[in-house]
């Protein structure tokens, strides 16, 4: 019975650590993908579409990373909820969970649109550029990613920061950082599309912080378990 209980305890302690690693994986994959896309696709929406030929392979690789980043992000949502535990607030948790799912869903939609443009361009490059299809999908991709998805990321961060304020499960420094970066995503994307890197960068910082906290918690739990195994006579000798 004791052995089974210890196995269940070890399993529970390992789960947040693995999920936090998934948060780091999400951040790295999305940052690589966004950087490749930003240096390949012009910010101006009235471009000639030359990037579809010159950078097709690079963009295809970037798009291929996004589904794996999305899977890792779902694990990151799990570790956040695990971190909150019994302190989870239903109202704000619904907002942060819903905005997180909307963010990743719209990111998938935008990636699918970009991949469709590349595939159509490979078949009929001249016809695609000369029709309204290219301009429509180009603007749609921009709007979905930079207007809606990233603002949902800002809402995700804002709601999660509010939960942390109410529960004190994260240091105030990280809470203030979260609020500040959330405002950047909500209000500052009109200045530069490179600000889209703010969200995966924040996820990376939070995931590393959770790893550190869990490591300290594991060490403290191990010390407590060792203390319980020591007999009163041995404790007397140690003292």
Residue 12 domain flag: no
Is the pLDDT score of 155 beyond 60? yes
Residue 9 domain flag: no
- State the pTM of this model: 0.77
Residue 7 domain flag: no
Residue 221 domain flag: yes
pLDDT greater at residue 215 or residue 106? 106
Residue 185 domain flag: yes
**d(C-alpha 169, C-alpha 125), whole Å:** 53
Reported as a single tens digit per residue, the pLDDT across 21-44 is: 888 999 999 999 999 988 888 777
Number of domains in the chain: 1
Residue 5 domain flag: no
Structure tokens belonging to residue 101: 């799912």
Angle between helices 150-167 and 172-187 (to 10 degrees): 160
Reported as a single tens digit per residue, the pLDDT across 88-130 is: 667 777 888 899 999 999 999 999 998 888 888 877 767 777 7
Give residue 49's domain range.
Answer: 18-238
Contact 83, 16 (CB under 8 A): yes
Percentage of the residues of the chain whose pLDDT score is greater than 90 = 29
Query: pLDDT confidence of 1, banded at 50, 70, 90?
Result: very low
Contact 194, 14 (CB under 8 A): no
Residue 46 domain flag: yes
Residue 218 domain flag: yes
């Amino acid at each position: 019975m004791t052995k089974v209980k210890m196995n269940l305890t070890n399993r529970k302690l390992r789960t947040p650590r693995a999920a936090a690693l998934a948060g780091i994986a999400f951040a790295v994959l999305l940052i690589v993908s966004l950087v490749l896309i930003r240096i390949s696709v012009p910010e101006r929406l009235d471009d000639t579409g030359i990037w579809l030929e010159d950078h097709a392979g690079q963009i295809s690789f970037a798009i291929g990373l996004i589904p794996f980043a999305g899977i890792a992000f779902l694990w990151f949502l799990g570790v956040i909820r695990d971190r909150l535990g019994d302190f989870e607030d239903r109202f704000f948790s619904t907002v942060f969970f819903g905005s997180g799912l909307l963010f990743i869903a719209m990111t998938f939609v935008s990636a699918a649109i970009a991949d469709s443009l590349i595939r159509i361009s490979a078949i009929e490059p001249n016809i695609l550029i000369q029709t309204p299809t290219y301009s429509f999908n180009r603007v749609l991709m921009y709007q979905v990613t930079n207007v809606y998805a990233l603002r949902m990321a800002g809402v995700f961060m804002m709601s999660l920061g509010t939960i942390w304020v109410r529960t004190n499960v994260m240091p105030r420094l990280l809470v203030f950082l979260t609020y500040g970066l959330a405002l950047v995503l909500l209000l500052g994307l009109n200045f530069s599309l490179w600000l889209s890197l703010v969200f995966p960068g924040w996820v990376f910082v939070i995931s590393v912080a959770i790893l550190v906290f869990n490591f300290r918690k594991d060490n403290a739990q191990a010390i407590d378990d060792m203390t319980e195994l020591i007999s009163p006579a041995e404790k007397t000798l140690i003292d």
